[in-house]
A = this chain, B = another copy of it.
Amino acid sequence: MRKNPERRQALVDAAIEVLAGEGARGLTFRAVDAQAEVPIGTASNYFASRDDLLTQAGGRIYERLLPDEATLAEARSGPQDRARYAALMHELVDRIIAFNTGFLALLELRLESTRRPELREVLTRRIRADIQDNVDYHAASGLPGDSTAVVLLMLSLNWLIVERLTLPGVFTDKEAHDLVDVLVERLVRE
C-alpha cells in the first residue's frame, strides 16, 4: 500500500466529493481517481478495499468539520450565556452548511451503512463519540442547560441542515435562522 499522506488525503477528499455528487453507489476507485485527477489505479494502491475508503471518508468528514482555533478561542471568550449558546449553534449550522458535500456524503454513508454492517459499526462509534464530545464540551464550558439539551439540539439542527441542503425552498433563510434561536430558547433551560 502506498504511503504518501498528502496523496492519501487528497484521495479521501475526492471520495467525499464523489459520494456527495454521485451517491454511495457511484463511489468506485476509478471515480475517485478521476475526481482527484490522478492516474487510474492510484486509489486502489492506497486503500485495501472500497469499505476501507468509505470508512476513511467518514472519519475525514468529521476532521474537516472541526472548528478552527480562532473559532474555538472566540467561543471560549466572554459570557457563557444563552445568547452565546445561540451564537455557537448558528456558527455550527453555518460551518456544516459551508462544507455541504461533507454533510451530504455523510448522509450517503449512513444510507450505505444500512447495507454494510462494518461501516455501520464504525459510523456508530464515530457518532457516539461526537455526541459525547459535544456533551463534554458543554459541561466544561459553563454554558447554561443540561446534556439532554445538547443531544436534542444535535437532533433538531441535523434535520434543519438536511432541509437546507436537500430542499432549500422549504424554509427561507430567515425562517431557518429563527428556528435555531427558538430551539435554543426552548431546549436550553437555565
- Which residues in chain A, 119-146, are within 8 Å of chain B measured between CB atoms? 120-121, 123-124, 127-128, 131
Whether the Cβ atoms of A167 and B25 lie closer than 8 Å is no
Docked Cα-Cα span, A154 to B162, in Å, equals 12
Whether the Cβ atoms of B108 and A170 lie closer than 8 Å is no
Whether the Cβ atoms of B167 and A120 lie closer than 8 Å is yes
Instruction: Among A114, A162, A170, find the residue whose CB has the most chain B CB atoms closer than 10 A.
Output: A114
Q: Is the interface of A mostly helix, strand, loop or mixed?
A: helix
Q: Does A98 contact B (CB under 8 A)?
A: no
- Which residues in chain A, 1-37, are within 8 Å of chain B measured between CB atoms? 20-26
Contacts A25-B23, A148-B182, A186-B152 known; A166 to B128 CB distance under 8 Å? no
Whether the Cβ atoms of B163 and A155 lie closer than 8 Å is yes
CB distance from A114 to the nearest CB of B (A): 6
Q: Does A66 contact B (CB under 8 A)?
A: no
Contacts A23-B23, A24-B23, A186-B189 known; A114 to B166 CB distance under 8 Å? yes
> Binary interface profile of A, 168-190, with partner B (CB < 8 Å = 1, else 0)?
01100000000100110011010
Q: Does A160 contact B (CB under 8 A)?
A: yes
Whether the Cβ atoms of B152 and A110 lie closer than 8 Å is no
- Which residues in chain A, 65-123, are within 8 Å of chain B measured between CB atoms? 104, 107-108, 110-115, 120-121, 123
Question: 6 A-B pairs, CB-CB below 8 angstroms?
Answer: A21-B115, A104-B114, A111-B111, A149-B186, A155-B160, A155-B183
- Seen from chain A, the residues whose Cβ lies within 8 Å of a Cβ on chain B are 20-26, 104, 107-108, 110-115, 120-121, 123-124, 127-128, 131, 148-149, 151-152, 154-156, 158-160, 162-163, 165-167, 169-170, 179, 182-183, 186-187, 189
